[in-house]
Structure 1
């Protein structure tokens, strides 16, 4: 096929003579001229068109295309010129792989730069693409780099007629070995990507784990997630654990408010309406309790030793739960004491049916008389 179109070119170039060197020079000049026109005129016109758009991605793409397009067209001219010259076999078998290697290297560099710009553009618009985040961007950039380099190296070696079967088999065995050796690391890595994509929690959220840890999320990495507890202790948890455990996000949901519950019991016989008014008043006087939604009081159940009530209100941050509950419980206790509302506590009554018989007359009960076998 290659010889057919070279013969057609020779027929067209025969009008300037039969010298193959002259034909090769003409082809190189023509392709250089075509490369110059495309680079300086066509791409320049496209650049002026993209400058009128708000997006910056197309501007960078046109800038990246200058070098590979120009030199690719020029190298195609050299390939055709080399075919016209009909050089000896060893020379042509060396020149053509060199041309292909240069072509692959040009477009490999272009693809690496283009992929990097494209991934960063997607990461900046993470509201539209849920997988890419600034934290996962290095991972995807490195994966894209490895894929592009791997494909490019494969085709470059193939252009030199190097059999890649043994290399691919070796790479497969090495990949399996690495997968088994680093399975925990890979599990954490992929779990980190899925956590960032699914976003069950984000930085500054308060979460409670199934194991009981509770704290603020300070960092979500590719390998682990870090929590800062209320004791100011940082806990590092592997992402493989976070991806396979129950996580309660106290900062999640459509509302940013967080509900707290204060439970209290009053003695049987207490005025239910008065208790309800007192609890409502305590909630309204608490400055850190949200006015909306307004706090509510519920009479929950008849307990074993008292009437169980629950005061529910909303606060801004889950981190303030302990302190605000302390303030509310203190205010409830003081108010109940002022009004004489009894808070029941556990009481036990002991009934004695009969007293044991008087054993003072039994033998050996006299302290002055030693028992047998015991020295005084």
Structure 2
């Protein structure tokens, strides 16, 4: 209390009343300091317990998730308890009621922000841990695309919840705010329905995972290429002729496609060939299978197979099926097998006939 304030009090109050007010103020100030000190000590004790005993408890778990969350939350726990002490101490100070409302309101906003910041760090660490686990299961490429989206959604959800709690504390009508936001969202949705359809389809592709980045897919239109990127609005595909296709996600979700890399990257090749009528079919089958096995990139398990599939106009139609380790080498392996078949057929006197047509001309009658 300064001398001017004491003189003013003494001019209006009797000495006994002035001493009583001073004692009440001193008592309330002491209570506020005591509350603040207790919560500060509680914050220090909580940090010490978490650092000493919390880290020991986390060693009993196989996952490092609890260690990472604990490391990020300890500073925020200390801030949260300290701000809570300030908030409670403010109500014990002998200040004007209007000042108490203003300062306590500001401290309440800060307290809510600190609490939701703590929750956000825990969720962020949980997302990072999940992505690390997906990376070990070879799903990291698509999960990495979802990480920024998941973080932003979590942040928006927490910010909206914190805003509602703060408005409720200051006795604002939350329903009118929610209604206004709903009408605004409806207007935005109608204006950007195509963009939203692509974004929702992007979420569907990321969650359903019909293909991953790096997979080779064949579209309904016949185009084949490798997936370069899966975005929220579109997917980029590099074709075999080194051209980039940008396809809206909604079209990919509503069309049929073939993932050549699923369930694994092995690919099955087929070679159709015709041999002359009168050829020994079983001998031709053995030559085809032996020819395929002679090529290094052809897998022995599952083994190559040859079949007699049809009677052609001028040849017996044969089919050779074989497997390679990856779809990336299917084209070159087919070329090597075709070249070797020509030599093996020539060595074994197996004829590949040309289409022939016999024309019979009759002499006209006079």
Q: Shorter-chain-normalised TM-score: which range?
A: 0.7 to 0.9
Q: 1:288 to 1:21 in 2, by over 3 A?
A: closer
Structure label with greater radius of gyration? 1
Aligned equivalents of 2:88, 2:221: Cα separation in 1: 70
| Residue in 2 that maps onto 1:104 | 112
Q: Secondary structure at the match of 1:135?
A: helix
Aligned equivalents of 1:130, 1:230: Cα separation in 2: 24
Aligned equivalents of 1:290, 1:130: Cα separation in 2: 27
Instruction: Tell whether 2:242 aligns with 1:232.
Output: yes
Instruction: Tell whether 2:138 aligns with 1:116.
Output: no
Aligned equivalents of 2:289, 2:31: Cα separation in 1: 99
Match of 2:319 among 303, 310, 319: 310
| Residue in 2 that maps onto 1:138 | 148
The answer on whether the counterparts of 2:55 and 2:67 sit within 8 Å (CA) in structure 1 is: no
Q: Per-residue CA shift, 1:104-142, capped at 9, x if unaligned?
A: 111122222222111111111126898981221000001
The answer for unaligned runs of 5 or more in structure 1 is 1-16, 358-376
Aligned equivalents of 1:325, 1:128: Cα separation in 2: 32
Q: 1:317 to 1:63 in 2, by over 3 A?
A: closer
Q: 1:68 to 1:335 in 2, by over 3 A?
A: closer
Q: CA deviation at 1:212?
A: 0.3
| Residue in 2 that maps onto 1:347 | 356
Aligned equivalents of 1:135, 1:329: Cα separation in 2: 42
TM-score (norm 2): 0.80
The answer on whether the counterparts of 1:262 and 1:325 sit within 8 Å (CA) in structure 2 is: yes
Q: CA deviation at 1:257?
A: 2.7
Aligned pairs for 1:201-220 within 5 A? 201-220=211-230
The answer on whether the counterparts of 2:91 and 2:104 sit within 8 Å (CA) in structure 1 is: no
| Residue in 2 that maps onto 1:291 | 300
Q: Relative to total residues, which structure has the larger helix share, 1 or 2? A: 2
| Residue in 1 that maps onto 2:201 | 191
Q: CA deviation at 1:79?
A: 4.0
TM-score (norm 1): 0.78
Q: CA deviation at 1:314?
A: 1.3
Mean Cα deviation higher: 210-219 or 87-96: 87-96
Aligned pairs for 1:244-255 within 5 A? 244-253=254-263
Q: CA deviation at 1:337?
A: 4.4
4+ residue segments displaced more than 6 Å: 127-132
Q: Secondary structure at the match of 1:291?
A: coil
The answer on whether the counterparts of 2:302 and 2:323 sit within 8 Å (CA) in structure 1 is: yes
Aligned equivalents of 1:346, 1:89: Cα separation in 2: 105
| Residue in 2 that maps onto 1:281 | 290
Q: Secondary structure at the match of 1:125?
A: helix
Mean Cα deviation higher: 336-345 or 204-213: 336-345
| Residue in 2 that maps onto 1:326 | 335
The answer on whether the counterparts of 1:101 and 1:159 sit within 8 Å (CA) in structure 2 is: no
Aligned length: 339
| Residue in 2 that maps onto 1:365 | none
